[in-house]
Amino acid sequence: MSARTHGIHHVTAFAGDPARHRRFYAATLGIPLVKRTVNFDAPSMWHLYYGHAGGAPGTLLTHFPQPGARRGRHGGGEISEVTLAAAPTELDAIARRLHDAGVAARIDAAGGRSALGFEDPDGMRLRIEARHDRSREDAALEIARVTLTVPDAEATCAFLREALGYSEIGISGEARILLALDGLAGSGRELEVVHAPELRAEPHGAGTIHHVALRVEDDDGQRALRDHLLALDCAVTAVHDRQYFRSIYFRIPGGVLFEAATDGPGFAVDEPAGALGARLMLPPQYEAARARIESTLPPLD
């Protein structure tokens, strides 16, 4: 049974003011809010999921927003940037919305693709690049890659090759580019690894990324990957039921936290597909405490 992963499932970050955060991602970037729930490990905190096509794996950005959260500082051993892919016409529309929202965006053409680089209101680094293989009518954003800034790129890349089935395909500036060999349609297949031994790790805060999740198609694939990681003496958690997918977690050399998440059951498991993100959804273990949880969560609207 294959122990490979199949590209990026989602990226999860910390954020500050929840209402400001929602306006930026849903209105300025145009990514629908597909699930309002809580951090399953800390239910006094929102966990918001943004994604296209009903929250399809490979489109998902998820966040833990909290009012008054200390802004994080970027350093080493982190996921330092998320690159999204857009149709060229959609890139122009996003550039206008960023300008109208007062967000400074730089324009570059790294790798021969037009792109916008900017930070969200909390300082999370984002890049949106034009992909000419995307339909002119397609307004959806997909995750193209994440950038890992690590103290030892060779050790990190060796692990990604041996443990997760990536193949190193080239160098772009100071970064090494790896590709998921068995990537699924709609998933970011690339990881970018930057060697930065001079940067120290910084504590997490608003605007920093907690982890990146890779796709495994089902429970069998997840089980095979977990067994493979354990055989490589990699510390990996037991399976966690996240209601919309099942997850395991592990750290790679360099300190970055990875997750492997199943594709299913998906976000329509607890609310109608046509009304995703409309109300607070809680896992069964917290339903009895709904009134208390709703009273403590800060407003989103």
Higher pLDDT: 271 or 111? It is 271
Provide CB contacts within 8 A for 112, sequence distance 6+: none
Question: Hey, what are 265's tokens?
Answer: 């059951």
pLDDT confidence of residue 1: 40
Q: How far is CA 5 from CA 2, 53, 101, 144, 166, in A?
A: 9, 21, 37, 15, 8
What average pLDDT score do residues 198-206 get?
Answer: 97
Q: What is the mean pLDDT of the chain?
A: 94
pTM as predicted: 0.96
What average pLDDT score do residues 71-95 get?
Answer: 95
Spell out the domains of the chain, with CATH numbers in brackets. 8-296 (3.10.180.10)
Q: Is residue 96 predicted with pLDDT exceeding 70?
A: yes
Q: For residues 49 and 60, is the Cβ–Cβ distance under 8 A?
A: yes
What average pLDDT score do residues 188-192 get?
Answer: 95
DSSP string, 209-276: EEEEEEEESSHHHHHHHHHHHHHTT--BPPPEE-SSSEEEEEEPTTS-EEEEEES-S-GGGSS-GGGT
Q: Is residue 62 predicted with pLDDT exceeding 60?
A: yes
* pLDDT tens-digit readout, 228-255: 999 999 999 999 999 999 999 999 999 9
Q: Is residue 113 predicted with pLDDT exceeding 80?
A: no
Residue type, 160: L
Q: Is residue 137 predicted with pLDDT exceeding 80?
A: no
